[in-house]
Structure 1
C-alpha cells in the first residue's frame, strides 16, 4: 500500500514539479527534463504524470496503471509521490471493464476521472485523475488535456509492441537461418559444425559443443570454430558428462540457475565449468521421435536468462528433427533395418502398449488366413453402356436454330420433332424464285408470240433455272424440322442453350439409340487384360444405381 503525507488540495494543485514514484523510486525534480530523458516505461510514466497534473489547476492526485505480463494491472506512476490512492481502484476497474472513460461525482468529494488506454483494440492500462472541482468547464478542460497528452503513453505502448515484434522477428529469422544452414550441408558432421558456429555467434558464447546420442549415452561430435578435436582429452570427457546430465534428465540444465529453487542436478555441469573456466553454462537436449538425439552445451561469461533458455529450447525443437533426418540418411541398410526392427520389437513388447501387441497378432492371423483361404480374383474396370445401334440427326442445310425441344435423355417417337431451323430466309427465297419463274414464263410466252427463237430459248432457260431453285427451296422448307428416325432415346445433344446460333450443313445435332438393344464396353487396364477370358461371368454396377448389380458374361 502506497502512502503519503496528505497536503491540502490547493497545495497539491500548485505542485507542477512534484516527483512521481512507484515502489520508492524517484524521478528528476524537473518533470519536463525527466520526460525528455526517459528510457523505460516506468521513467516515461513517472515523468509524464506530473507534467499532466501540473497543467491541470484543479488536479489533486493521479495514477497510471499498466498491464503486467500476467494480465493484471499495477500502478507504475503516482502523483504526488508516496500517496495512498486505493480509493481510485473502483473507478479504474470500471473504466477497464467498460473500455471507456468514466467520471464519478460525489457531493462533497473530489471528482474522479478514469480513462482507459486502448492500443489497437486491446486495453493495456488506464489513467486515473482526481480533481478538486465539480465545474463542468474544469472537467472538460481536464478531459481535453488528457486526450492531448495520452499520445505519449500510446507511443510508449506502440514502441513496446514494436520491440516485442522485432524480438520475435529476429528469433524467427535466426531459426530459419539455422535450419537452412543445417539442411544445406551434405552430412551430419558438417551440419553440426554449422549449427554450433551460428549458436556461438548469436548467443555470444566463446564455445558451443554438440553431442550425439550413441548407445544411450552422449559423445561430443562437434565443437564451434574447430574442424577437429581430440576426443580423449579430459575437458572433452567432462563436457560429455555434462551433456549426459541433461540427456538423462531430458531437461535444460543451466549454471548458474536463472531461478531460485531449481530441482535439476547440475553437479557434472558445475564440475566442467570449474575445469574449463566458463562462468555460465547451458545444456539443452534435442528431442525427436520421443528420444533425445543430441545435446547442446553453450559456454560464456554472462549468465543465461530465462528468455534465452526458452529461445534455445525452441531452436532445439526445430533442429532435432533435422539432425535426426541427417543421421538416418547416413545409416547403412543393415543398421537401418536393425533399428527399425528394434523399434518395432520395443513397441510390441512394451507393456504400456497392449494395442500394438493386439494389432501385430491380428496382422499375423490375417496373413495366415489370406494365404490359406481360396478367393476369387476380381478385375475392376470402367464401363460404358450405349445402344447397340446409334443414329445421328444432322443439320440438312446451313442455317440457324430456332427451336430445340429435345435434349439428351428424352424418350422420342419416330417422326417426333427434335429441333427446328429458322425458315424466314427460305420463305423469302421461295417468294423470290416464284416471282422470277413467273417473269420467265411471261417472257417465254412473249417470245413464242413473236416467233423469236433466241429470246424463246433464253426465256425457257431462265424459267427452268427459276423452277429448279424453287424446287430446291421447297425441299429445304420441307426439311426445316429435324425429326427422330425411329423410336428411341436421345443419348447426346442439347441445343437449348444454343438457340439462334448458326449450324453448318451436316453438323451432328443429336445422337439417338433404340431402346431394345444395348451393349456394354469395358475399359480393362492393359495390366489386367490377361486375367479376362471369354465367357467369364461378371457384374455391372451403374453409377445411377449403386446398390444394384446386373450379371453379365
Structure 2
C-alpha cells in the first residue's frame, strides 16, 4: 500500500511547488508594477501632474473606465484629478455625488467595494446611489494614508468585472509609497494665503504653545470680537443709491408736424434765454407762403376787376377768398416763426433730447423734443429699501458722494419721506428727499447719481451685522 501511494504524493508535492512558484512570480510582477507606478508619481514636480499620473496608471493597471483622486480639505473630500481628464467642472452633480461616495470611505476609514462578495457591515449608501445614478457597475474606494493620517481617497469605476481585495491592496501599496510626495506637492501648490497661514500657525505655536495652537488663537479672537460686537456702539448709516433732482423741469414740444432740420444742443449743454435749440424744416412752409402771397395778389386783382365791372356778387366771392387766403398766410407765418425753437429760461441744462442723430426725422405736433432742468433748487433723492426705512427719521443728517467726484462728500438733511413705495430693481424703495446744508458746487447737475449714507443712530456691531437676517427669519418663521 505504501508503494502505491508514493507517486500520488509526489504529484501533489510537485503541483504545490508549482503553485507556490506561480504565486511568487505573480507577487513579484505585482510588486514591480506597484514600484513602477510609485516611481512615476514621485518623479512629478507638480501636484496636478502627480495626480494625473497616479489616476492614469491605476486606470490602465486595473482596466478601469475612470479613476478619481479626492483630497481632504477641511474635513471634506474634493476631487483633484480624474484619469485621462485635464479639466472638469467641480459644480457638476456627478462630481458632487462622487465626492459624497469618497467621504463615505473616508469617514469609515476603510476600503469599500461595490458590489461586495462578503457580508460587510460598512455603509455603502452613497456608493449605491452613485452606482445607480450613473450606471457604474463596480466601484472601489480606498483611503490614502500618510502615517496615521488619512489625506485622501482613490475611487475606481469599472464595468461588469467586480473589484477584489487584491485590487484594494495594490492601490493601498501604491498610495502608501506616494502619499508623502503627494502631500508635499499639494502643500507647495497652495496659494500664498494658505502657505502664509501655515507659517503663522508655527509662529503662534511658539507664543501660545504647541498644543491646540489655532484653537487658542481663534478662541482669543472670538472672545474679543464678541465683546466688541455686543458692547461697543457704532454709528450706523443706511447706504442707498441717490440721484440729484430739481423741481423745475421744462418740456419743449413740436409746435407743428414737420421735420428736424438742424440741432444746436445736446444733453449736458447749458443754455440761456433766447438761444436757439433746434430748427424745423422751413422749405415747405416758405413755398406755401409764396403760393399764398401769389393767391392774395390774384384775389385782390379779381376784386378790383369786379368793382370796375360793378359785379357785386363776384366781388363778395373774391373778398371771401381773400380773407381765407390771408388766414392761411397768417397760419404759415406763425409756423415759420415757431420753426426755430428757442430757450425760454436762463441757466438751464439739457437733460434729455439727443436729436443730432435724428436730423431729417419727422415729428408730430405735441411730441416731446427736449427736456431742460433749471440749475437751481437742486436736492438729493435717496431710494431707501423698505427693510431700512424704519431706521430713517425726518431731520436725520446724511452724506452724499457723487460718482463724478467720489472724493468729495456733501452733507444734507432728510426733509421728506415719500409715504408710497416705488419698485426699483425688483425691490420696494421709499424716496427720501434731502436738502443740502451747504452751498452746492456749480458742477452739480440734475440726474447725477451717487451713494448716500443717512445716519440712523448708534448701534452695536452685532445688531448691524445681523438685524436684516433676524428680520427676515422673523418674517418667514412667524405663526
Normalising by structure 2, we get a TM-score of 0.49
Normalising by structure 1, we get a TM-score of 0.43
